[in-house]
Amino acid sequence: MSTADTANTANTAAAAGTWKLGDLEVNRIGYGTMRLTGNGMMGNSDGAPIDRDAAVRLLLDAFEQGVDHVDTAAFYFSPLRSANELLNRALASWREDVVVVTKVGPGRDPSGEWLTMARPDQLRGQVEENLRQLGRDHLDVVNLRRNGPGTDSIAEHFGALAELRAAGLVRHLGLSNVRPEHVAEARTVAPVVCVQNSYGVDRRRADGTGLVDLCRELGIAFVPYFAVAGLRSEAGAAREQDARVLAVARVHDATPAQVRLAWTLHRGPHVLAIPGTRDRAHLAENIAAGALRLTGADLALLDGPGGADG
């Protein structure tokens, strides 16, 4: 690779390297669509929704900067915006170049009220709703989102998705909000290409359960959500950033969000990132985090005791 190519790559999502979701190779830096519909959880927000054209432009900016996988869901909507429909518009000229990862299991009625976890026989309807909204004949990756502690066995639900995969409606399957035993159970039914769980500098439960290492051993992508937000989840990182994160950020002339993203990517080549934002400058910063190389001293400081949830 020439010096010019290296410089160009450093400014795109390609800087973090690639991983395969089944047979679909993607750059490790992706984009999460949840915040396109509002600032609150799953789009429930009193704030003004992002302008449609601005949202589509933001997605196009992401694609032009090398983002080639996007996380979404049919239940990411607010009264005036649907993440899938915005994504559908943006994909018009990029449809063959961007891998779309969606999720099923939970649901919301048209008013936005949450419904109980879908029954296995209802998952086909959720998959078809994603297909309609995205304007596709098949879905690249569908994650079964486990909804709460009461969902102990996922075999029947995952089996229903495996049938849709066999029917050609879904290309690959993944899991979300799961424990290691769920991964083992699902793999007896069908291949698992990714696991999406809450994870970051301040929330390391997936380390304590061994899930991050298990995914590495099995060749499964581990995809953290809320990696930038710290313990405040979808609301964004707290104003008083962890002192360790700030210290590393100062050394590298980076933002705390970039350090948090870089930390997750350093957990292994199988770890992807799906930061979401409604701001073009933040989008560029998130993508640039893929080129941030933390030192052993940085990682030792960030991995030190205190601040993690176990």
Q: Which positions are annotated as active-site residues?
A: 76
**Residue whose C-alpha is closest to residue 274's, from 213, 308, 226, 236:** 226
Is 170 in a helix, a strand, or coil?
A: strand
Distances (CA, A) of 113 to 44, 125, 131, 202, 264: 10, 18, 22, 30, 33
- Strand (E) or helix (H) holding 52: helix 52-64
The rounded distance, in Å, linking the Cα atoms of 24 and 39 is 31
Whole-angstrom Cα distance, residue 228 to residue 276? 9
CA 229 to chain centre: 13
